[in-house]
Amino acid sequence: MSSRIKSKKIALLGILGAQALALSFLEGLLPALPGLPPGAKPGFSNIVTMFTAYSMGFRHAVFITLIKAAYAALTRGPTAFFMSLSGGLLSTVVMCLLIKQKKQRFGLIGISVASAIAHNAGQLIVAMLLTGSEAIIGYAPLLTLFALVTGIITGAILKAVIPALIRQSKYFS
């Protein structure tokens, strides 16, 4: 790969990372939803992660996930870092596995829902490890329902903005 193409990919990844951070910041302004665990958010920055997974592949999507986890560490501390990292990595793995399937059975919304559920599962596992309590699993049904709703929303948003993200990416190809 030429250094010019490599530079363009790095620039695009930087812009996608900035977009994911902006969405994370905006999401942080939303009030907590009653009945959900602290920190439960819709996951709008996963729109960027999913686009990155589709357009650039697993390695680059993991990079976006790592940027988001670092942002969580800087703005909310180490617990938020581990929660973001665990949920983000599991979500990205599930997302990329479903994207790689030859028969795209799930579509953007299905993949978004599956990755939202995986994100919550990863966070629940870390929360149980951090607290030493298995009682945390009691949040699983509510978080699964929340992931279903937010996965549908983020998948629909991605469907709507994907043409703009593709146009943006063409400046770097």
| Domains in the chain, CATH or no CATH each | 3-170 (1.10.1760.20)
| pTM more than 0.95 | no
Q: Tens digits of per-residue pLDDT, 55-73? A: 999 999 999 999 999 999 9
User: How many angstroms separate the Cα of 7 from the Cα of each of 20, 52, 65, 96?
Assistant: 20, 16, 20, 24
Q: Tens digits of per-residue pLDDT, 93-138? A: 999 999 988 777 789 999 999 999 999 999 999 999 999 999 999 9
How far apart CA 135 and CA 41 sit, in angstroms, is 21
User: How many angstroms separate the Cα of 37 from the Cα of each of 54, 87, 120, 124, 134?
Assistant: 30, 14, 11, 10, 15
